[in-house]
Amino acid sequence: TVLPYSGNASAHPLWFQQAFTYLNVDLGEQYLSLLSSWIDKERIGAYENPKTGLEKKNRPATLSEWQKKRFVKSKDPNISDDNFIVSFSGEVWCWWVSLQPVWRAIAPGTKPSHPPVIKTSMTNWKSLDKKGLNGWFGILVCLKWWGMGLEHCPVEKREELKEDWLRAIDDVSAMLNGLLTYYRASPK
């Protein structure tokens, strides 16, 4: 199952059409729900695609290389390499933790123990309030590669890496939905 492309495709900028098509793969309900939230975020942000984006420090090198080559012309990483997901998942967590707002307070080198409980008093979303190809798109690309690579990782690590991937999706979803709630509650 994948998401249908909503609305008139020509009404959306080309970058969004290509990004949606790239991310729209069947990796389960949790992933598709996250993808749907990302679509809402980009819609609320008027499909802007600024050059500035998420902090590059700690960003997985594989993603940086891929984005430099303009994703539509770039080859995907070799997710069928036995150990790609084993190392890549750790890089994704490291980057994700480094992007968190100050109020989240996750120690570097650790993973969140559970998705956050978002309160309306949490108003500093600056580190995650990024749009377009340099925003949340990169996070979703990482989760796509991780999810697709699970079938190629060592059998003895597969279940653990899948649970970790689902945990990452839950955490990313909670923060993205918190950001969406903040947008909707903010005065225009």
Q: With 90 as the cut, is the pLDDT of residue 15 above it? A: yes
Task: Name the more confident of 68 and 88.
Answer: 88
Cα torsion for 137, 142, 103, 171, to the nearest 10°?
A: 110
Pick from 105, 172, 112, 164: nearest CA to 138: 172
Q: With 80 as the cut, is the pLDDT of residue 186 above it? A: no
Output the DSSP codes for 54-119. Answer: S--TT--HHHHHHHHT-GGGSPPP-TTSTTHHHHHHHHHHHHHHHTS-GGG---TT---SS-----
Q: With 70 as the cut, is the pLDDT of residue 123 above it? A: yes
Going by pLDDT thresholds of 50, 70 and 90, the confidence category of residue 9 is low
The two counts, helices (H) then strands (E), for the chain are 6, 0
Residue 1 has, within 13 A of its CA and on its CB side, a CA count of 7
The verdict on pTM exceeding 0.85 is: yes
pLDDT digits (tens, 9 = 90+) for 37-61: 999 999 999 999 999 999 999 999 9
Q: With 60 as the cut, is the pLDDT of residue 180 above it? A: yes
Return the residue matching tokens 């679509």: 39
The total of other beta-carbon atoms located within 10 Å of residue 100's CB is 16
Cα angle for residues 44, 50, 56 (degrees, 5° grid): 110
**Are 179 and 129 in contact, with CB atoms under 8 Å apart?**
yes
CA distance 99 to 102: 9
Look at residue 120 in the predicted model and tell me its pLDDT: 65
**Are 85 and 150 in contact, with CB atoms under 8 Å apart?**
yes
